[in-house]
Amino acid sequence: MIYVSSNTDFLTVSTMDRALLNQKNWEKLGLNIVDVPRQADLELQIDRLVFTHIHTYVLTDKSTGIVLASGRVTALDGVVASGPMAEQIVKILSAARLPAQATGADRGL
């Protein structure tokens, strides 16, 4: 379970939710987006730096407070920023939760 919160009006929670759900690997991750923070295992906090076009995110484990991922996207508005931001988040979560695909180097002899 993941809870999304926004500290800016430029990138709303519903915009970020849609961007995450539209990612191709989202369903494989087995995560659900919840509206109640205490039901969540992970929290995604999104923000925008004042007087800039830099949108930031921090993904934390709610039980331990450990930061699992963070990053930023530069875009004119939150709708444009949400796509690349969701792509980065899903890529990070996929690396941790999905089995690695075998490559030629991993197969051995």
Task: Answer positive or negative: Cα dihedral of 92, 98, 103, 109.
Answer: positive
pTM of the predicted protein model: 0.86
**98: pLDDT strictly greater than 90:** no
**Per residue in 72-87, pLDDT tens?**
999 999 999 999 999 9
Is residue 56 classed as helix, strand or coil in its secondary structure? strand
Per-residue pLDDT band for 103 (boundaries 50, 70, 90) equals very low
Per-residue pLDDT band for 97 (boundaries 50, 70, 90) equals confident
Could you tell me which of 80, 53, 58, 79 has the C-alpha nearest to residue 69? 58
pLDDT of the residue at 96: 87
Per-residue pLDDT band for 15 (boundaries 50, 70, 90) equals very high
pLDDT of the residue at 59: 97
- Ordered by start, the domain boundaries in the chain are 2-96
Q: Measure the CA–CA gap between 38 and 103, rounded to whole angstroms.
A: 40
Question: What would the CATH number be for the domain defined by 2-96?
Answer: 3.40.50.10070
